[in-house]
A and B are shown apart, each in its own frame.
Chain A
Amino acid sequence: MKEVTISELERRFQEKIDNDIKIEPKDWMPEEYRQTLIRQISQHAHSEIVGMLPEGNWITRAPNLRRKAVLLAKVQDEAGHGLYLYSAVETLGADREATIDDLHTGKAKYSSIFNYPTTSWADMGTIGWLVDGAAIMNQVPICRCSYGPYARAMVRVCKEESFHQRQGFEIISLLAQGTPEQKAMAQDSLNRFWWPSLMMFGPNDAESKHTAQSMKWKIKRSTNDELRQLFIDVTVPQAEMIGLTIPDKDLKFNEETGHYESGPINWDEFWEVVKGNGPCNKERVDARKKAKDEGAWVREAAMAYAEKRKERSAIRA
């Protein structure tokens, strides 16, 4: 067998990527590519799972039966999406529970938006409209990501998420056209979630340390700022349409570029929340830890039973 040098393997690898040939689990890949994927996909999975909590907060208070079922189905979808993504992480040789433990120790991150509290029913609308809207923009390009299992998981996620944004917009537009109390509730919610939603796209391109390499590897297909701009351009007219005001006094439309120009994002706040100082960071991680700890005896029992049954059938055979 002929020896192939690492640099030759790397060249072939990049050639595949450049030709849009997907990378599959057993293919040779640079260690750094593997680690980047594990980090990114698990962060994405954690975001889905932690993302269940702020909306889960309102399941038992949903105002009618239809909303209750829809919200429940939506939060459940997020569990499903987390699972599809953990599956993709496992194809890279990373164990799911170990990945989850990294979330619990604070080593792994998740989308900082979920560290903000959901204090009113209108937040269920805003989250669907803005947070899922932003997530979809982030996710659609990943359907073309170079790593096969991640791309396939994202296709499934995007297909399922199409109803998430719509149900949110339905909630918020109904409130925006409702009674004065409802309208105030909707505006207050937009005021609280607008800036954190813009932060969801991550730091400015100049500050983003992973972007260049990830773009070259086609793990990432658009930059943070490109996606953020796209989000602002489509969302501002939607807010106007339903009569809500975007909480940005610097916001104006530039006729020449065809884009909205917006005020400065408070990046100090962003980094503090990422570091763990957001309003709900501790509650979110604690809730996940609690679920895992309190479920330990259940998981052990199921395994013990499965082993007992295997032994019993071996004796019978």
Chain B
Amino acid sequence: MEKNTDLFEYVLRMGDDSLILGHRISEWCGHGPILEEDIALTNMSLDLIGQATNLLEYAGELEGKGRDGDALAFLRYDREYKNLLLVEQTNGDFGKTIMRQFFFDAYRKLLFERLIKSTDIQLSAIADKSLKETKYHLKHTSEWVIRLGDGTEESHNRIQESLDALWKYTAELFFANEVDSKLLAAGIIPSMEGLQEDWNEIVSSVLEEATLTIPTNNWKQEGGRIGRHTEHLGLLLAEMQYMQRAYPNMKW
């Protein structure tokens, strides 16, 4: 059962990342910078919420306490959410949303590529399906980072500012603790070796083409993976959980 507890924790983290980021992107629906991009953002949000559903359902099974995906998504306290701080950051302007998504997509693509090789069949299947979606997201966000970075002076300054503000949250993408080492030792998750280097390569090549500058300050801001969040998560949850909290134990 030890294996299940660790895997539960691991799958929960991924599920929460998808859930919280999917929620954030869904806030754009109806407010995008142009109709075509409004639709594109919603497609990303739908992919993420689909991933969250698959991952949280699976987490519920692994936990074996009768909680399903919805119970996990809507009925936990803030300290029990294990998403990255990066994904709970507010949308800001379109450039900040794109930059946040770009950092995440680059990480997610590399992660899913590795998880396809997992000995856990279900995790491998989820990774396989999600990878296709994520590759498209990364293509889309990379193109936008370049357009905004190398567009007008205003767009360059705006997205550089977002890059500077979000950079400190990127270190947490590579968070690993004893859960990861135990799963790795048990052969359930494949080696993540080189993931960070590959991420650096993707990110620096896109940012370079976008004429953007990576901040030199490498101060890390982490905590999400152990349930210690920024102020933003509480507000997000208050909204997301409203119906389930106000009308407990009902079917919708």
Residues of A near any B CB (own CB < 8 A): 49, 52-53, 56, 59-69, 72-73, 75-76, 79-80, 82-83, 86, 121, 171, 174-175, 178-179, 181-182, 287, 290-291, 294-302, 304-306, 308
Which of the candidate stretches B41-49, B107-115, B176-184 sits at the interface with the other chain? B41-49
Which of B30, B94, B146 has most chain A Cβ within 10 Å? Answer: B30
Residues of B near any A CB (own CB < 8 A): 23, 26-27, 29-39, 42-43, 45-46, 49-50, 52-53, 56, 69-70, 73-74, 93-95, 146-148, 150-152, 154-155, 158, 239-240, 242-244, 247, 250-252
Q: Are B29 and A298 in contact (CB under 8 A)?
A: no
What is the CA–CA distance of A190 and B128 in the complex, to the nearest angstrom? Answer: 44
What is the CA–CA distance of A65 and B46 in the complex, to the nearest angstrom? Answer: 10
10 closest A-B pairs by beta carbon, nearest first, are A295-B33, A301-B151, A301-B155, A63-B243, A56-B30, A63-B252, A52-B30, A298-B33, A76-B42, A305-B147
Besides A56-B31, A61-B239, A298-B95, 12 more A-B contacts (Cβ < 8 Å) are A56-B29, A64-B252, A65-B49, A65-B53, A65-B73, A76-B38, A76-B39, A79-B39, A290-B31, A298-B94, A300-B155, A301-B148
Q: Are A72 and B30 in contact (CB under 8 A)?
A: no
- Give the chain B neighbours of A83 by CB distance below 8 A: 35-36, 39
- Checking B36, B53, B155, B240 against A69 with a beta-carbon cut-off of 8 angstroms, the contacting residue is B53
Q: Are B69 and A67 in contact (CB under 8 A)?
A: no
- Checking B42, B70, B147 against A302 with a beta-carbon cut-off of 8 angstroms, the contacting residue is B147
- Give the chain B neighbours of A290 by CB distance below 8 A: 31
Q: Are A69 and B46 in contact (CB under 8 A)?
A: yes
B119 → chain A closest CB, angstroms = 28
- Give the chain B neighbours of A298 by CB distance below 8 A: 33-34, 37, 94-95, 148, 155
What is the CA–CA distance of A23 and B31 in the complex, to the nearest angstrom? Answer: 35
- Give the chain A neighbours of B158 by CB distance below 8 A: 297
- Give the chain B neighbours of A287 by CB distance below 8 A: 30-31
Residue of B nearest to A55 (CB): B30
